[in-house]
Structure 1
Amino acid sequence: MSETSNPFAAMFEMQRRSMEQSQKAVHQSLNFQKQMAKTVRDSLHSGKAVQETSMDVSQTAVEAYLDMFEATVPGDETAYDSMHEAVADQFEALHGANEETWAAFEETLEENGHAFDDFVDQYGEYFDDSIDAYLETLGQVEDQTEAATIELDE
């Protein structure tokens, strides 16, 4: 008896194709999630550059304000030098703390990013195993159904 004479063959084929299409859709979704996580990590790197530039602009503005103040209000040059030095020291400390914070943040982000990618990959493998097991079982049921159909026809 050919598969075309088995009334259930089309149903089994439809189920098989449906599962295969679902499998492809899940993998596309998983790849999208991994790509989105990478995009977030990359955008945070851009955020770091913007923050550093903002800090540099702030430092330049404060130094310009001190220069303007010094030029318009005569006073003790040593006091102004001390203020300039204090501002430079504070911004240097701020830059150092900022760099340490970003380094720790980026390290954590990288580690968690890799862990997330590993999790998504592992989930994809488990999902594939489940689909394979389902399709194998479906094939067995299909074979049994075909055998039963042949027996009924005889």
Structure 2
Amino acid sequence: MTAAFEMQRQMIEQTQEMTHEAIDVQKETVHQFVDTMENMESLAEQNNDVSKQTWHAMFDAMESMMPEGSADFSEFEKMVDDGFDQLTESQQQAFDAMNDAMADGASAYDEFADAYVDAVDSSFDSFLDTHEQVEADVEDVTESVSA
């Protein structure tokens, strides 16, 4: 009987350990998602810069095809610059708000996960205590029957 109780106890302890590992993976996933959003912010900025440079290159190409001094694209270039500056500013504000909200969410999830782990540990500890008591009771009954 002792071997059966030991096997059960090991299975319970392994389940508890797997629960801890699963929660750790979930917490890490949440934090990686937050980091990914920061990378998206950087990509958006790079995209804006490339798009802006593309427009400037297009204006330069158009100007080079025209007779010298016949066209001035500087106003168009200024409008493109202003538009991309406004877009970048708006995106930055949106990303800042989103990153703040995600960081707060990740912190809240960490707190929830830690509380959950504490509750799981408490439940496992109570169950193991009860399991040990049942094992002791079974051993007592077995000894009484054997005698």
Same fold (TM over 0.5): yes
Residue 82 of structure 1: how far off its partner (Å):
2.2
1:51 aligns with 2:16: no
Using CA pairs below 8 Å that are at least 6 residues apart, which structure has the higher relative contact order? 1
Q: In the alignment, what sits opposite 1:99? A: 92
Residue 81 of structure 1: how far off its partner (Å):
2.8
Residue 39 of structure 1: how far off its partner (Å):
1.8
Q: In the alignment, what sits opposite 1:3? A: none
For each residue in 1:115-152, what CA deviation from the matched residue of structure 2 results, as whole angstroms up to 9, or x when unmatched? 11222211111111111010011111111111212222
Aligned residues: 145
| Unaligned residue ranges in structure 2 (runs of 5+) | none
Residue 59 of structure 1: how far off its partner (Å):
0.3
Residue 68 of structure 1: how far off its partner (Å):
2.2
For the residues of structure 2 that align with 1:147 and 1:91, how far apart are their CA atoms? 81
| Unaligned residue ranges in structure 1 (runs of 5+) | 1-7
Where has structure 1 moved over 4 Å in runs of 4 or more?
A: none
- SS of the residue corresponding to residue 108 of structure 1 reads helix
TM-score under structure 1 length normalisation: 0.86
RMSD of equivalent CA atoms: 1.5
- Relative to structure 2, which stretch is displaced further, 99-108 or 68-77? 68-77
Equivalent residue in structure 2 for 1:16, among 9, 15, 23: 9
1:135 aligns with 2:120: no
1:117 aligns with 2:101: no
For residues 33-44 of structure 1, the aligned pairs below 5 Å read: 33-44=26-37
For the residues of structure 2 that align with 1:85 and 1:39, how far apart are their CA atoms? 39
TM-score under structure 2 length normalisation: 0.90
- Relative to structure 2, which stretch is displaced further, 58-67 or 40-49? 40-49
For residues 77-96 of structure 1, the aligned pairs below 5 Å read: 77=72, 80-96=73-89
